[in-house]
Structure 1
Amino acid sequence: MKVCYFKEFPKPYLIYPIVLKNNFKRSNASIENKNVKYIVDNFYVDPKNLVAYKKLCGFENGKSIPAVYFSMLSEILQNQMVENEKISFSIKDLLHISHKMKQRDSLFANQRYTMTCQFSLLSQNQFVYKTLVQSDGKTVLESESIYIIGYKKQEISQLDIGNNAFDRVIPKKLIRQWYVPKNVGRKYAQISGVIHPAYLHSWSAKAFGYSEMTVHDMWLKARVLAGLDLPKSYEIYTQFKKPLSLPSSLQLFTLDKSTEVTEFYVKDEAKGTQHVVGKIIINA
């Protein structure tokens, strides 16, 4: 396995434009198996970036770090991998289908962290980024993001993230609703450094196959987590159903099956379209 070490995170605004440009040339419907791991050792989070992230996603501006913030940082390493390792796929054919995350302990801004991100091929057109976050030699967070390329829409509904109950039991308790303005995608792109054309302008979104401007699906997941009361230890499994067109009014529904498990989904209030479904498991 190839292992690369970094003293700090690469600058995302330098990486992503190159990735985007090169992906216009990459049109493979399958990718090679690249067994590679990137590690950023002994870092502190950027306090200004963290404050901006919390504000945009709806988190309270306290001393703790939302676990999903580290998933945003992991994408910086993922994009660096795509460029350095020549991982070949067309960005137009790429879809983020699921994300799972396990927080083992509280996360604070004054702690020093080490992040490991590993790329693995699951099938000819499906791959995963696994992220591990440690502090003081202890694992505090684990996450996995699964992507598919060269997909067909009918295939997405058949994908399973480990919770078949999503389609059998529909959460009906409305606990949050919020309006998402058109510029949220652009603002999240500025904070995260993931500057996809679909987040920037209507014309560039349409050029990439979207009906309107959209926002990164991990912003939507973060917005859901900001609306829930979570302990210091939990697991969350999320499936992304359909991109969110902006502007939009969203509703968050939950179903409390027990004190340990909460299922949820997010839908467009006007259209009734489901955008995210998931479940949260509280760890004792």
Structure 2
Amino acid sequence: MPELTATPNLTALFGKAVLTGFTRRGTRLPDTVYEQPNVSVDRTHLARYDRVCEFRLTDELPVTYPHVLAFPLQVKLMTDPGFPFPLIGSVHLANRIIRIRPLRVDERLTLRVHVENLRDHARGRQFDMISEVLVAGEPVWTGVSTYLRRGGGSGAEKARERVEPPEPTAVWRVPGNIGRRYAEVSGDRNPIHLHPLAARLFGFPRAIAHGMWTKARCLAAFEGRLPEAYTVDVRFKLPVLLPARTGFAASTVDQGWGFELFDARTGRPHLAGTVTPGA
């Protein structure tokens, strides 16, 4: 298990991703596991993240924040020579977070990242990037990001019936610069989030919000109402074109919550998720 003594440089890694993206071909995922021990949280950075995602400023880490800490390790793995798919152009389909207990800003963390479960998708191939946070050797947080690489799919997707969105419990104005602001705190400087001209090269009419920002923004709306241990699943649907006006709706489902984010004018879905008590 390769052990990292410092956080990987994302600027250099994204440059590498652009230069090597067209040469990546493969059929197997690497079995590499990256680990970075003794990670401390920068309080200033945490506060900036809280403000961008609209979490309260506390000594407890938002449930989505460890994803940001592990993201450089994910990018390092996805830009290694043995990784079969290019980073640029991979689509974030879904994200699951399992929180066993809250994390505090003064705890020393060990980050661990690996990739698994390569499988067919109607539009190509998909795989799971697994991130873990351990404290004193005990796992306390797990994130599963499912990515799609388009091309050579297994068949056509089933047509989706149009479903009218629920009545929003809140309407949020998403500013045009949220992609750049979230990129500054997350390190995710994929060009589709930064500028409309760059986004058009990838088929988007305008820059789009990060999927993990939309998930974080939704979970910020639940602060003070969630248990200490829970699992939150999200499926990303249509992108949020910036600037935007979005509707947010939440409802109780069994013992947990269901929530949706959608275009406030057209009802086009951006995200659907559930929060389930327990881990």
TM over 0.5: yes
- 1:148 matched residue in structure 2: 148
* TM-aligned CA deviation for residue 281 of structure 1: 0.5
- 2:178 matched residue in structure 1: 184
- 2:58 matched residue in structure 1: 62
Partners of 1:129 and 1:245 in 2: CA distance? 25
Partners of 1:17 and 1:223 in 2: CA distance? 29
Name the stretch that deviates more: 249-258 or 33-42.
249-258
**What SS is found at the alignment partner of 2:97?**
strand
In structure 2, the CA distance between the partners of 1:85 and 1:5, relative to structure 1 (3 Å rule), is farther
- 1:162 matched residue in structure 2: none
Partners of 1:157 and 1:183 in 2: CA distance? 35
Partners of 2:52 and 2:101 in 1: CA distance? 24
**In the alignment, is the contact (CA less than 8 A) between 1:44 and 1:111 conserved in 2?**
yes
* TM-aligned CA deviation for residue 256 of structure 1: 1.0
What is the 5 A alignment of 1:259-270?
Answer: 260-270=255-265
In structure 2, the CA distance between the partners of 1:100 and 1:107, relative to structure 1 (3 Å rule), is same
- 2:112 matched residue in structure 1: 116
Q: Per-residue displacement from partner, 1:115-140 (whole Å, max 9, x unpaired)?
A: 11111142262111111111122221
TM-score computed with the length of structure 1 as normaliser:
0.87
Name the stretch that deviates more: 226-235 or 171-180.
171-180
In structure 2, the CA distance between the partners of 1:158 and 1:62, relative to structure 1 (3 Å rule), is farther
* TM-aligned CA deviation for residue 193 of structure 1: 1.4
Residue 129 (structure 2) pairs with residue 129 (structure 1): yes
- 2:247 matched residue in structure 1: 251
Q: Per-residue displacement from partner, 1:146-193 (whole Å, max 9, x unpaired)?
A: 1111157x956689xxxxxxx999883533321111110011112111
**In the alignment, is the contact (CA less than 8 A) between 1:170 and 1:255 conserved in 2?**
no
Partners of 1:226 and 1:10 in 2: CA distance? 28
Residue 78 (structure 2) pairs with residue 71 (structure 1): no
Q: Which structure has more helix as a fraction of its residues?
A: 1
Q: Per-residue displacement from partner, 1:198-246 (whole Å, max 9, x unpaired)?
A: 1111111001111211121001100011011322211111100111100
Residue 187 (structure 2) pairs with residue 193 (structure 1): yes
**What SS is found at the alignment partner of 1:67?**
coil
In structure 2, the CA distance between the partners of 1:182 and 1:122, relative to structure 1 (3 Å rule), is same
Out of 96, 115, 126, the residue aligned to residue 100 of structure 1 is: 96
When the two chains are superposed, the root-mean-square deviation of aligned CA atoms in Å is: 2.4
Out of 11, 21, 30, the residue aligned to residue 34 of structure 1 is: 30
In structure 2, the CA distance between the partners of 1:110 and 1:171, relative to structure 1 (3 Å rule), is farther
- 1:14 matched residue in structure 2: 12
- 1:218 matched residue in structure 2: 212
**In the alignment, is the contact (CA less than 8 A) between 2:101 and 2:228 conserved in 1?**
yes
**In the alignment, is the contact (CA less than 8 A) between 1:262 and 1:281 conserved in 2?**
yes
Runs of 4+ in 1 over 3 A off after TM superposition: 90-93, 154-159, 167-173
**In the alignment, is the contact (CA less than 8 A) between 1:16 and 1:193 conserved in 2?**
no
**Structure 2 unaligned spans of 5+:** none
**Structure 1 unaligned spans of 5+:** 160-166
Name the stretch that deviates more: 6-15 or 271-280.
6-15
